[in-house]
């Protein structure tokens, strides 16, 4: 079973113990993040860690990251997506290859988007069909703020947890008490755990990781599913959350505005 420690990651020590460190929740400019993919890869290489790129309903970042990761000597990164459904609830999917992520995008996302970039599907639909793809499913920020609190959505739908591979028990944007609730949830459901900063800017990278003894992407995701992971992370301070929150609002408005413009252009064609 996964172990969780809520403290600042000691990256050199964890690497010395043979762990590969992956921030499993990171956003780029391809959705509502402010960091470019090249800068994300550069910082990860500098820290000696890796990441999962989990843009909202977007896959271009995965294509961009793959050659850069190899070039800068990072053993692997994890192609992912944060599927943002029509009710605002999110589901994280992690793929074994960029090709797998693109197949999912082409078949499930590309033609099913609303004008503001949400998916015209319920989270339960995503959980059900994820088994048809080579993917690992995690529930992000289960005790997130406001409408992001997906635990309310699952009331009366508890049977769908059988489709869930893991629960995100550390999210650097949330208060410690919310992450502890997520940890309790994972333990009660006997589910493996993941961790990520949920960063929409570059500076939080290094605050939280899913750690496993794995040399490849395939090995790493297998270890996640088996629950052989170490979760280490320290939540951001209120000041840093405020800084990222302001950036999030700005980038989210741009992201939604661009989606509306693209939607109009497609409709005209």
Under DSSP, the state recorded for 236 is P
What integer pLDDT is reported at residue 218 of this predicted model? 98
CB 77 within 8 A of CB 51: yes
CB 142 within 8 A of CB 164: no
CA distance 116 to 25: 21
SS3 content of the chain, % helix, strand, coil (to 5): 45, 20, 35
What integer pLDDT is reported at residue 242 of this predicted model? 55
| Residue 94, helix vs strand vs coil | strand
Please report, for the domain that includes residue 125, its CATH number: 3.20.20.140
Neighbours of 257 (CB within 10 A): 12
**CA nearest to 36, candidates 78, 64, 12:** 64
| Residue 75, helix vs strand vs coil | coil
Whole-prediction pTM value? 0.88
What integer pLDDT is reported at residue 243 of this predicted model? 53
Residues of the chain with pLDDT under 50: 246-257, 260-269
Strands 208-212 and 230-233: antiparallel
Handedness of CA 79, 196, 56, 247 (dihedral sign): negative
| Residue 90, helix vs strand vs coil | strand
* Domain count within the chain: 1
Q: CA geometry: angle at 74 spanning 72 and 77, to 5°? A: 120
Domain extent for 170: 3-268
CB 77 within 8 A of CB 50: yes
Instruction: Write out the two tokens for 50.
Output: 């890796």
**CA nearest to 169, candidates 83, 247, 235:** 235
CA distance 25 to 199: 7
What integer pLDDT is reported at residue 255 of this predicted model? 47
What integer pLDDT is reported at residue 197 of this predicted model? 97
């Amino acid at each position: 079973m996964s172990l969780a420690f809520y403290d600042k990651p000691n990256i050199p020590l964890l690497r010395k113990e043979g762990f590969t460190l992956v921030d499993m929740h990171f956003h780029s400019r391809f959705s509502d993040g402010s960091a470019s993919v090249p800068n994300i890869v550069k910082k990860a290489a500098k820290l000696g860690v890796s990441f999962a790129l989990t843009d909202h309903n977007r896959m271009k970042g995965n294509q961009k990251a793959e050659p850069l990761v190899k070039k800068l000597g990072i053993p692997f990164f994890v192609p992912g997506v944060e599927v943002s459904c029509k009710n605002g609830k999110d589901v994280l999917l992690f793929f074994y290859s960029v090709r797998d992520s693109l197949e999912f995008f082409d078949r499930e996302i590309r033609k099913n988007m609303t004008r503001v970039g949400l998916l015209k599907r319920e989270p339960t639909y995503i959980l059900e069909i994820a088994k048809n793809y080579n993917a690992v499913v995690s529930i992000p920020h289960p005790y997130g703020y406001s409408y992001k609190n997906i635990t309310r959505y699952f009331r009366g739908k508890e049977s769908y947890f059988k489709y869930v591979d893991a629960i995100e028990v550390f999210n650097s944007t949330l208060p410690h008490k919310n992450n502890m609730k997520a940890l309790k949830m994972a333990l009660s459901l006997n589910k493996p755990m993941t961790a990520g900063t949920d960063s929409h800017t570059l500076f939080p990278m290094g605050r939280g990781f899913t750690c496993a003894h794995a040399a490849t992407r395939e090995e790493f995701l297998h270890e996640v599913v088996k629950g052989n992971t170490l979760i280490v992370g320290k939540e951001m301070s209120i000041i840093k959350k405020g800084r990222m929150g302001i950036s999030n609002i700005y980038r989210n408005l741009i992201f939604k505005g661009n989606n509306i413009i693209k939607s109009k252009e497609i409709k005209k064609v």
